[in-house]
Amino acid sequence: MNPHLEPWSVSPDAFPADGFLSDRLEYLLQYAILAPSPHNTQPWLFRINPNDVEIFADLRRCLKASDPQARELNLACGAALLNLRIAGEYFAQRCSVEVLPEPLHPTLVARLTLHAGGEATSEDVVLFHAIRDRRTNRGEFSATPVPEATMDALGEAAVAEGAWLSFVTDEASKESLAGLVAEGDRVQWADREFRSELAKWVRTDAAHQMDGIPGADFGVQDWMSFAGPALVRTFDRGGREAAKDLEIARHSPLLLVLGTDEDNPVEWMRAGQAMQRVLLTAQSEGLSVSHLNQPVEVASLRAQVAAVAGRESGYPQLILRVGYGTEVPPTPRRPLRTLLLHQDPSKAPPH
């Protein structure tokens, strides 16, 4: 068994309710690191201070070919922040949050302070227990439709964090969005830098890795399950990937576009928190989710995503496919101790 799967076994019974504030914060960070991130890069670092914990964006783990503005990196940090908030509230720790609290230090993306006197709501309890069970599922989904009440819950989850969620359900819109996903594949795979970057994060020996994408996690009979990074880097398989993803999108019971009214680092952090609340809500409803973000990552296609989603204004931040799938294993996580800063993050050693 990969020892880097152990973070998923964090126990609620181990919360140090009577411990120092720093002990409680360090414990809660075990849930923060279970958030999703592009290519499972886990692009976050943390610093525990006497009265708070700070989240830093680790720009060394930015996917420069597909995420040149570090937009998706900020989404991932926002997802980690949401996990941290939910865990704190579950343990009756009232949380206050500052996003990008120091403009002169843009890698400091959030600061969270714990206060006494919190009270967990029923929603906190449900979402907290979904944190350890949430997975990115790239496998096949059944044709079973998602109930309307569940769709309403997903929409409310996004709105609760200041984002919007558009449901792409009619066949014409699904076909249009599927076509944009396929075009995104072709554009990205034609880029040698994109292929080299993807190859860097594909793990064929996943049993001994603490980050990256396990090859088998690409989906049923996917060629990258057995192809080495050299093949990923060398060959433009945009046509085949486009054909595969076109069918995946077409036959997904539900496609979602999550976005924000503005497009800046504060909004990206907001979108990341909204994404994670949607993912945890979906998990609590027994749904599987994966990302189809290719046309959002290609600048020339992003506006077309907004049009398909029926938005006259606003900025799409990500695309999700949602349905009922089979259980999949978790992806590895770096040990929390390697992510804790004890100095200026610019001077931290690489991980």
Angstrom distance (rounded) from CA 114 to CA 112: 7
Number of Cβ within 10 Å of residue 312's Cβ equals 6
Angstrom distance (rounded) from CA 49 to CA 52: 5
Position 227 scores a pLDDT of 54
Position 174 scores a pLDDT of 96
Same-fold call for 3-135+330-347 versus 148-190+236-323: yes
Residues 6 or more apart whose CB falls under 8 angstroms from that of 73 comprise 37, 38, 41, 43, 57, 59, 61, 62, 63, 67
Of 137, 118, 138, the C-alpha closest to 128 is 118
CATH class entry, domain 3-135+330-347: alpha beta
Say if pTM beats, i.e. exceeds, 0.95. no
Torsion of CA 324, 330, 333, 335, to 10 degrees: 130
Roughly how many angstroms between the first and final C-alpha of the chain, as a whole number? 22
Q: Tens-digit pLDDT profile for the chain (351 aa)?
A: 688 999 999 999 999 999 999 999 999 999 999 999 999 999 999 999 999 999 999 999 999 999 999 999 999 999 999 999 999 999 999 999 999 999 999 999 999 999 988 889 999 999 999 999 999 999 999 999 999 999 999 999 999 999 999 999 999 999 999 999 999 999 999 999 999 999 899 887 766 789 998 866 554 345 454 455 555 654 556 688 899 999 999 999 999 999 999 999 999 999 999 999 999 999 999 999 999 999 999 999 999 999 999 999 999 999 999 999 999 999 999 999 999 998 655 544 444
Vertex 300 angle, CA 296 and 305, to 5°: 45
Contact 256, 322 (CB under 8 A): yes
Which tens digits make up the pLDDT trace of 144-169? 999 999 999 999 999 999 999 999 99
| Spans of all domains in the chain | 3-135+330-347, 148-190+236-323
Position 203 scores a pLDDT of 84
Q: Pairing between strand 213-214 and 202-203?
A: parallel
Position 219 scores a pLDDT of 47
CATH topology of domain 148-190+236-323: NADH Oxidase (3.40.109)
